[in-house]
C-alpha cells in the first residue's frame, strides 16, 4: 500500500517564498498569540508557511486521487456523510481534509524553547467525516484551477511543553488542478449520453437526426426503385449511434476520441460500400475517409435528404365539386338589385262640381312633373298620369285635377365574397324585369299615381333578386375550373426529413393560400358586368372553401402517432419533436487534451465477453394497409390488416410476376389476381353515376363510355394501376366527350368519384395480400440469405453456387451469385409497405412509415485527460469505470469504502419517421424482418 502521508521537512521553510513561482497562491488568517516574544512570533510564522504548503500538497494529491477514482455514488458507512447529488465534491472535500491532516503531521517547528504545531481534528466516525467535509471549501477559478479553503486549523504554541497560545485559523490556497471543471464536463457527457429526444441536447436528438438522414435517404431510394429491402438495418443503427456518441463527446468535452473517430470513419465507409454493392461486398480494409466524415458520413454515404412535396390537388377537387353544387348561393348574393319608385305630382285645377258630375279617375298623360334620377341608378321606366280626385267639403264636392309622374330607377346591389368595385354597365334588362314585379306588387302605376296625387311626392325602395342569365353559370364554372387547374399545378409545400409527426403541411398550404388570396381572386379595378362580378365571387368562394377544408384537415399522422405511442418506450418522443443539432464545445476553450474510451468503437459484436452496443429497430408498418384509419384499432397494428388497398394489392401482384415458388405461392398469386380483377370491376358503377350527375348523356351512352375506357387497358392489373394513379378518370372523361358530353369540370368530378370508389369499393382482403407477400419473401429470402460473407475461398465458392442455384429456382434465370442476390433484393424492394396518409377520406397525399430505434451500451473505461499548467506534471486524467472507491479517512493506513465509481452507459429510444409521395410501392422493410435486433439485445 502506498503511503500518502505528507512529509514536509523544515528545510522547506527557507524556500517558502518559492510557492508563488510554483503556481500556488495563498492567504492565511491568523490571530496574534498572547504574550508574544521573538521566539513565539518566529515559530508561528514558520508553522503558518508549513500549513500553507501542507494544504496545497494535500489538495493536489486529493484532486489527482479523486480524478483517478471519482466517487459517482456514495457507499459504505463513510458514504453516509456524502450528499447523493454532490457525491464527487463531498468525497473530494473529505479526501482533501484527510490528505491535509496527514501532511500536517510533520509540521512542528521550534524557535528557542518554543515549539509550534498546526493540526486538524481526527476522524473516527461518519459524523466526524461530515464535520470534516464542512471544514473544506472548494471553488472553481476562472482559469480552471481550484481555490481550496481549510478551516478549523489549530495552531498551538508551547514553551517547555506548556501551552502558551492556542488559536483556530483558516488557510486558502489556489491549486492549478481543473478537477472540478473536468468532473462537470464528464458528468455532463454521461448525462447527455443517456438523454432521450425530449430530454434536451444529447444522444437521443443526435441519433434521431442521423438515423432520420439514413432512413429518408434509403427510403427514398427504395421508393425510386433501388433494391432496398431493409431501409434501416442494424448496421445503420450501429454507425449512426457511434456518430451520435462522438458528437456528444465533442459537444461536452470539446474533442472526441481520436481512435474512435478513425474506427467510425472506417465503419461508415464499409456500411456505405455494403449498401452500394450488396451483401457480397466484403469489408473495406484501408478505405479512405471522405472529406465530409465523420460528421456527415451517414448522410454522404447512406442517403441524401429528400422532402415530400404535398399538393392541394385532392382538397381542390373536393372543394370544386362542393362549390359547383352550391353556386346558387354565389348567384343569389351577386344577382341582386335595388329598385326605387319615385313619384311627383302637380295640381292643375280645383273646382266645385255637383254630385252627379263628381267622378274620379286616372288617365294617361303625355307629360308630368320632372323626377331626378339618383346617382348610381339608371332610369328603368317613366309613366305620366292625369289624376282627377273628388272630395266632399260640407254640402259641396270639390274636384282636383293633377299631373303625376311615376319614375322607376334601379341599380345592381350585389353582396357576397367578391371585392367591392364599380360596375361599368348596369344590368338594365335584368333590373327592368325586376322593377315590373316591384311596381305590380305596389298596385301598379295607376295606384301609385293616385297615391301621389293624394299625398304628394314619395319614394319607395326594395332590394330584389335578379334573374340569373343562362350563360352565367357556365362562365363562373369555367373561371373556377381555371383557378382549380392553377392551384393543382403550382401550389404545394414540402414535408422535410425530421419534420416529425406533428407536421401539418395542409395547414401550411392553407396559410399560403390565405396570403395569396387577393392575387388569386384577381378582382379587376372595375367590373365590366354583373357576370364578371359573379365569376370573381365564384373564385373567392372557391378559394375560401379550399382554405376552410385545409384548415379542418389534420396532418394525417394521427394513426401513426397512436401506433408509435403503443410501441415506443417514450410515446411520441422523437416523432413529435423535430430533431435538432446543438453546437459543439470549442476545443480551444476546453482544457481536455484527449479522450480515450475502452473499447474505442462501440461494436454490436462481442468484445472480451461483453457487447459494447446492442440495438433494436422495429418497423411498425411492414404490411400494406388500405389507409391510416384501418391501420389502427385501439392503437394496435393489425397483422394482417382486414383490408388492403387496391394499390397495395396490384403492386404486390406485379412484384410476384416471374417469381417461381411452390404450389402455395402459385395458389396465393392466383387468388390475389382474382381479387384485383373483382375490385377493379367494382369501380365501374360509381363512374357511370358520376357521368349521370354531370352530363346529359343517356344511360346507354354513359355505360358505353366507361366500358370503352376500361377496354383501353390490357387486363385487370393494368386497369387497376390506371385506377390507382388516376389516369383512368381522364380516360373516362375523353370517352364521354367523344359521345357528346360537354360539362365543365367533368374530369375533376370523375377523379373524385374514382378516389371515393377506390376507398369504398376497391379494397381487397388484407389476408390475401399478406399471404402472397410472405410467400414471396420466403422464396426471395432464400436467395439473399445464402452464403453471405463466408470465410475461406472454398466456402465462398460453395456459397456462390448455392446462391446461383437458388436464383435460378426462384427467378428462373441463370445468374451469378451477386446478380441473383441483387435481383432477389430488387423484387423484395418492390413489395409495398407503409401507411397511406389521408387527412380526408379518399385523399392519399403521402405514405409514411416509422421505426422505433433503441440503442444501449457503454464504455468499460473512459479516460479524459486535461491540462493543469503545473510545472513537472501538466496533465490530469479523470477515469470512469466500475469500481469501489476507498479512502484512508481516519489515517490508520487502511482504506475505508466511501463510494462507487461507475461506467459511462446509455440507453435511448427514439422514433424515425419517413414520408414518401403517394405511390403503390410506399416505404418500409420488405424483407420480412420487422423487428431487427443485434446479437447482444
Give 780's pLDDT tier (boundaries 50, 70, 90). Answer: low
Q: What is the pTM of this model?
A: 0.68
Report the distance separating Cα 314 and Cα 310, nearest Å: 11
Task: Retrieve residue 818's grid coordinates.
Answer: 451477386
Most confident of 34-38, 289-293, 374-378, 547-551: 374-378
Mean pLDDT of 244-256: 93
For residue 291, what pLDDT is reported?
28
Task: Retrieve residue 123's grid coordinates.
Answer: 476522524
Report the distance separating Cα 772 and Cα 770, nearest Å: 5
Task: Retrieve residue 611's grid coordinates.
Answer: 457487447
Name the nearest CA neighbour of 506 among 542, 467, 550.
550
Mean pLDDT of 425-429: 92
For residue 614, what pLDDT is reported?
95
Pairwise pLDDT comparison (656 vs 561), residue with the higher score:
656
For residue 240, what pLDDT is reported?
94
pLDDT tens digits, 81-137:
999 999 999 999 999 999 999 999 878 898 888 999 999 999 999 999 999 999 999
Q: What pairs with residue 792 in β-bridges?
A: none
Identify the weakest region by mean pLDDT among 27-36, 299-308, 474-483. Answer: 27-36
Q: What pairs with residue 363 in β-bridges?
A: 386
Greatest CA separation for the chain: 164
Q: What pairs with residue 457 in β-bridges?
A: none
In the block, cell 418506450 appears at 569
For residue 307, what pLDDT is reported?
64
Q: Is 60 exceeded by the pLDDT of residue 433?
A: yes
Separation of CA 564 from chain center? 14
Q: Is 80 exceeded by the pLDDT of residue 450?
A: yes
Bond preceding residue 599 cis, omega within 30 of 0? yes
Report the distance separating Cα 755 and Cα 678, nearest Å: 17
pLDDT tens digits, 728-748:
999 999 999 999 888 778 888
Report the distance separating Cα 906 and Cα 928, nearest Å: 29
Task: Retrieve residue 723's grid coordinates.
Answer: 385506377
H or E element: which one contains 512?
helix 505-515
Report the distance separating Cα 490 and Cα 821, nearest Å: 42
CB-facing half-sphere around the CA of 55: CA atoms within 13 A: 34
In the block, cell 473536468 appears at 182
Mean pLDDT of 53-61: 94
Give 818's pLDDT tier (boundaries 50, 70, 90). Answer: low
Alpha helix (H) residue ranges in 278-374: 297-302, 313-324, 327-334
Q: Is 60 exceeded by the pLDDT of residue 487?
A: yes
Task: Find the angle CA(233)-CA(235)-CA(240) to the nearest 5 degrees.
Answer: 100
Report the distance separating Cα 61 and Cα 98, nearest Å: 10
Q: Is 90 exceeded by the pLDDT of residue 598?
A: yes
Q: Is 80 exceeded by the pLDDT of residue 809?
A: no
For residue 591, what pLDDT is reported?
84
For residue 583, what pLDDT is reported?
47
Q: Is 50 exceeded by the pLDDT of residue 4?
A: no
Residue 375 neighbours by CB distance under 10 Å: 6
Separation of CA 159 from chain center? 80
Name the nearest CA neighbour of 810 among 666, 610, 636, 652.
666
Can you point out the beta strands (E) in 299-447?
Answer: 308-311, 336-353, 361-364, 378-393, 396-412, 422-423
Q: Is 50 exceeded by the pLDDT of residue 691?
A: yes
pLDDT tens digits, 383-396:
999 999 888 777 77
Task: Retrieve residue 338's grid coordinates.
Answer: 335595388
Q: What pairs with residue 182 in β-bridges?
A: none
Task: Retrieve residue 696's grid coordinates.
Answer: 346529359
First to last CA, the chain: 41
Residue 132 neighbours by CB distance under 10 Å: 24
Name the nearest CA neighbour of 205 among 492, 487, 581, 599.
581
SS3 content of the chain, % helix, strand, coil (to 5): 45, 20, 30
Query: Is 78 in contact with 126 (CB distance < 8 Å)?
Result: yes
Q: Write the CB contacts of 805 (distance below 8 Å, at least 6 apart in sequence).
A: none
Pairwise pLDDT comparison (351 vs 704), residue with the higher score:
704
DSSP 320-332: HHHHHTTHHHHHH
For residue 357, what pLDDT is reported?
62
In the block, cell 457527457 appears at 189
Amino acid at each position: 500500500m502506498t503511503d500518502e502521508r505528507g512529509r514536509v521537512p523544515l528545510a522547506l521553510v527557507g524556500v517558502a517564498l518559492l510557492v508563488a513561482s510554483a503556481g500556488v497562491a495563498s492567504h492565511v488568517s491568523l490571530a496574534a498569540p498572547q504574550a508574544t516574544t521573538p521566539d513565539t512570533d518566529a515559530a508561528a510564522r514558520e508553522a503558518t508557511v508549513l500549513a500553507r504548503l501542507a494544504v496545497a500538497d494535500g489538495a493536489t494529491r486529493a484532486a489527482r486521487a479523486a480524478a483517478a477514482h471519482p466517487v459517482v455514488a456514495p457507499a459504505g458507512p463513510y458514504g453516509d456523510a456524502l450528499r447523493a447529488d454532490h457525491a464527487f465534491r463531498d468525497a473530494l472535500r473529505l479526501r482533501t481534509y484527510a490528505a491535509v491532516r496527514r501532511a500536517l503531521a510533520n509540521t512542528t517547528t521550534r524557535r528557542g524553547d518554543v515549539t509550534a504545531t498546526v493540526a486538524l481534528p481526527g476522524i473516527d466516525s461518519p459524523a466526524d467525516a461530515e464535520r470534516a467535509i464542512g471544514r473544506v471549501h472548494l471553488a472553481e477559478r476562472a482559469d480552471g484551477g481550484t481555490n481550496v479553503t481549510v478551516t478549523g486549523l489549530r495552531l498551538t504554541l508551547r514553551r517547555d511543553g506548556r501551552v502558551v497560545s492556542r488559536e483556530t485559523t483558516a488557510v486558502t490556497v489556489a491549486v492549478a488542478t481543473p478537477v472540478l471543471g473536468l468532473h462537470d464536463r464528464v458528468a455532463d457527457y454521461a448525462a447527455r449520453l443517456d438523454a432521450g429526444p425530449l430530454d434536451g441536447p444529447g444522444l437521443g436528438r443526435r441519433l434521431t437526426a442521423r438515423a432520420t438522414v439514413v432512413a429518408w435517404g434509403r427510403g427514398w431510394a427504395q421508393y425510386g426503385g433501388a433494391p432496398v429491402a431493409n431501409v434501416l438495418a442494424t448496421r445503420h443503427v450501429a454507425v449512426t449511434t457511434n456518430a451520435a456518441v462522438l458528437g456528444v463527446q465533442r459537444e461536452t468535452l470539446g474533442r472526441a476520441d481520436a481512435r474512435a473517430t478513425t474506427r467510425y470513419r472506417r465503419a461508415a465507409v464499409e456500411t456505405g460500400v455494403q449498401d452500394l454493392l450488396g451483401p457480397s461486398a466484403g469489408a473495406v480494409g484501408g478505405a479512405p475517409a471522405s472529406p465530409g466524415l465523420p460528421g456527415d458520413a451517414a448522410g454522404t454515404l447512406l442517403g441524401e435528404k429528400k422532402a415530400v412535396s404535398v399538393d392541394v390537388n385532392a382538397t381542390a377537387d373536393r372543394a370544386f365539386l362542393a362549390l359547383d353544387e352550391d353556386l346558387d348561393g354565389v348567384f343569389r348574393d351577386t344577382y341582386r338589385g335595388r329598385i326605387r319608385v319615385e313619384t311627383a305630382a302637380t295640381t292643375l285645377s280645383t273646382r266645385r262640381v255637383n254630385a252627379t258630375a263628381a267622378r274620379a279617375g286616372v288617365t294617361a298623360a303625355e307629360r308630368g312633373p320632372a323626377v331626378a334620377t339618383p346617382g348610381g341608378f339608371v332610369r328603368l321606366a317613366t309613366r305620366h298620369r292625369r289624376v282627377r280626385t273628388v272630395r266632399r267639403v260640407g254640402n259641396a264636392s270639390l274636384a282636383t285635377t293633377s299631373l303625376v309622374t311615376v319614375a322607376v330607377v334601379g341599380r345592381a346591389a350585389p353582396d357576397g365574397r367578391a371585392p367591392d368595385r364599380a360596375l361599368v354597365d348596369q344590368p338594365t334588362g335584368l333590373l327592368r324585369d325586376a322593377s315590373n314585379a316591384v311596381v305590380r306588387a305596389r298596385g301598379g302605376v295607376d295606384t301609385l299615381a293616385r297615391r301621389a296625387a293624394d299625398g304628394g311626392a314619395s319614394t319607395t325602395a326594395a332590394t330584389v333578386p335578379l334573374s340569373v342569365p343562362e350563360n352565367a353559370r357556365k362562365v363562373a364554372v369555367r373561371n373556377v375550373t381555371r383557378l382549380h387547374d392553377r392551384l393543382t399545378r403550382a401550389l404545394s409545400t414540402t414535408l422535410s426529413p425530421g419534420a416529425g409527426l406533428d407536421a401539418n403541411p395542409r395547414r401550411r398550404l392553407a396559410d399560403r393560400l390565405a396570403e395569396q388570396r387577393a392575387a388569386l381572386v384577381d378582382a379587376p379595378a372595375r367590373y365590366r358586368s354583373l357576370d364578371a362580378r359573379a365569376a370573381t365571387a365564384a373564385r373567392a368562394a372557391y378559394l375560401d372553401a379550399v382554405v376552410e377544408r385545409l384548415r379542418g384537415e389534420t396532418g394525417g399522422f394521427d394513426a401513426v402517432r397512436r401506433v408509435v405511442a403503443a410501441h415506443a418506450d417514450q410515446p411520441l418522443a422523437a416523432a413529435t419533436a423535430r430533431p435538432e443539432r446543438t453546437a459543439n464545445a470549442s476545443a480551444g476553450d476546453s482544457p481536455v487534451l484527449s479522450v480515450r474510451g475502452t473499447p474505442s468503437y462501440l461494436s454490436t459484436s462481442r468484445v472480451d465477453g461483453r457487447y459494447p452496443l446492442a440495438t433494436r429497430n422495429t418497423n411498425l408498418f411492414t404490411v400494406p394497409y388500405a389507409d391510416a384509419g384501418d391501420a389502427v384499432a385501439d392503437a394496435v397494428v393489425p397483422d394482417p390488416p382486414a383490408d388492403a388497398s387496391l394499390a397495395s394489392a396490384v403492386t404486390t401482384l406485379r412484384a410476384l410476376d416471374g417469381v417461381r415458388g411452390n404450389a402455395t405461392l402459385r395458389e396465393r398469386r392466383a387468388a390475389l389476381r382474382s381479387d384485383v380483377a373483382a375490385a377493379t370491376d367494382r369501380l365501374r358503377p360509381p363512374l357511370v353515376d358520376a357521368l349521370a350527375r354531370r352530363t346529359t348523356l343517356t344511360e346507354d351512352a354513359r355505360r358505353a363510355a366507361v366500358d370503352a375506357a376500361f377496354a383501353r387497358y390490357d387486363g385487370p392489373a393494368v386497369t387497376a394501376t390506371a385506377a390507382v394513379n388516376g389516369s383512368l378518370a381522364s380516360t373516362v372523361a375523353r370517352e364521354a366527350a367523344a359521345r357528346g358530353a360537354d360539362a365543365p369540370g367533368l374530369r375533376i368530378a370523375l377523379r373524385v368519384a374514382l378516389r371515393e370508389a377506390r376507398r369504398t369499393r376497391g379494397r381487397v382482403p388484407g389476408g390475401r395480400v399478406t399471404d402472397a407477400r410472405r410467400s414471396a419473401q420466403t422464396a426471395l429470402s432464400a436467395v439473399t440469405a445464402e452464403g453471405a460473407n463466408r470465410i475461406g475461398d472454398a466456402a465462398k465458392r460453395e456459397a456462390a453456387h448455392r446462391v446461383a442455384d437458388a436464383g435460378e429456382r426462384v427467378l428462373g434465370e441463370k445468374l451469378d451469385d451477386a446478380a441473383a442476390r441483387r435481383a432477389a433484393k430488387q423484387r423484395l424492394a418492390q413489395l409495398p409497405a407503409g401507411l397511406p396518409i389521408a387527412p380526408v377520406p379518399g385523399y392519399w397525399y403521402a405514405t409514411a412509415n416509422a421505426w422505433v430505434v433503441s440503442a444501449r451500451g457503454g464504455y468499460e473505461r473512459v479516460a479524459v485527460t486535461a491540462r493543469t499548467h503545473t510545472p513537472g506534471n501538466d496533465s490530469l486524467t479523470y477515469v470512469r469505470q466500475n469500481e469501489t472507491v476507498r479512502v484512508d479517512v481516519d489515517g490508520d493506513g487502511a482504506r475505508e469504502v466511501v463510494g462507487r465509481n461507475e461506467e459511462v452507459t446509455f440507453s435511448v429510444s427514439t422514433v424515425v419517421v419517413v414520408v414518401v409521395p403517394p405511390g403503390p410501392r410506399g416505404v418500409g422493410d420488405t424483407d420480412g424482418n420487422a423487428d431487427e435486433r443485434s446479437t447482444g439485445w
